[in-house]
Amino acid sequence: MKIRYIMAMMAFAIFCLCACGTGNASAADTANENNSESKTMTDNQPDTASVKVRMETTMGNITLLLYGDTPKHRDNFVRLVRDHYYDGTLFHRVIKDFMVQAGDPDSRTAGDDTRLGSGGPDYKIDAEIVYPKYFHKRGALAAARQGDMVNPMRQSSGSQFYIVTGNRYTAEGLVQIEQNMRATQVQSNFNTLVTANRDNILEMQRNGNRAGLQQLQDSLISQARRAAEEMPSPLTEEMRQAYTTVGGAPHLDGQYTVFGEVIEGMDTVERIEATETGAADRPRQDVRIIKMEII
């Protein structure tokens, strides 16, 4: 890896470090893009507090299961449903073979040319990334969010969500996905190490100590790669089975909070996914959530 490229990586990581205290961009976009509280759960900790929600749309009904072990997202969604927050809102972003997104309150009365995706309540939700137990298989329900540059703690939008449709992968395709996930993990490890060495880096930059920066860069890259190599395979056998049979969006795994899944009505999701879209992936014909209710 060339030094110039690594310098750019380090500069980018420092920029993100500084930006996290000041960034305050608009609400979420799952394709381009709350304090994070990552949780790890094991199979011997059963989900005992799930909630079912029926969503009535202009294209049919969808039944969602909200996981009990993502309680902040579950409770927030339940509260919004009971407050009728989603009633009348649109599926404002639809990408075939990827996902359908909704939950922007501004969409309720939006004109045809209104750009959507920035609306929501005046709060975010701490990340509850229960990975690899929950992943982006077809039918997964996940929280949209801003990108890492302005949202390094990966907090979720207060209201916007997406349902995964995705693609089916071959075994060979999953190998490439795993390589990409490894590379992402190396970058994440590197950024964490840069954060830990921030004061030292800034001091060397002030002093013009390029030799010291190069030596530190080499050391951090080596540590980042070694830590990634020591981690288990990014894809579990359950994930491989799901992605080669029903499909999904594995490139999002471990980065967004998956807090539920569709248990009935994927045919409705498919109809929404098939709608013709225009600018910003908005359906040309409105697809509206009529109401939601707890069942």
- pLDDT for position 245: 96
- pLDDT for position 228: 87
- Other residues' Cβ atoms within 10 Å of the Cβ of residue 24: 8
Q: Contact 124/60 with Cβ under 8 angstroms?
A: no
Identity of the amino acid at 148: D
User: Which tokens sit at 25?
Assistant: 């961009």
pLDDT of 82-119, one tens digit each?
Answer: 999 999 999 999 999 999 999 999 999 999 889 999 99
- pLDDT for position 120: 96
Q: What's the gap between Cα 44 and its chain centre?
A: 26
User: Which tokens sit at 15?
Assistant: 């920029």
Q: What gap in Å lies between CA 186 and CA 188, rounded to an integer?
A: 5
Q: What gap in Å lies between CA 162 and CA 143, rounded to an integer?
A: 6
- pLDDT for position 45: 56
Q: Contact 193/251 with Cβ under 8 angstroms?
A: no
Residue ranges of the chain with pLDDT lower than 50? 1-28, 30-44
Q: What gap in Å lies between CA 41 and CA 131, rounded to an integer?
A: 8
- Phi and psi, residue 196, nearest 5°: -65, -25
- pLDDT for position 182: 85
User: Which tokens sit at 13?
Assistant: 């990581």
Q: What gap in Å lies between CA 186 and CA 183, rounded to an integer?
A: 5
Q: Is the dihedral of CA 185, 145, 137, 238 positive or negative?
A: positive
Q: What gap in Å lies between CA 217 and CA 237, rounded to an integer?
A: 35
* Residue 199, Cβ density class (10 Å: 0-12 exposed, 13-18 middle, ≥19 buried): exposed
- pLDDT for position 293: 98
Tell me the domains of the chain and their CATH numbers: 13-172+234-294 (2.40.100.10)
pLDDT of 29-47, one tens digit each?
Answer: 544 433 333 333 334 455 5
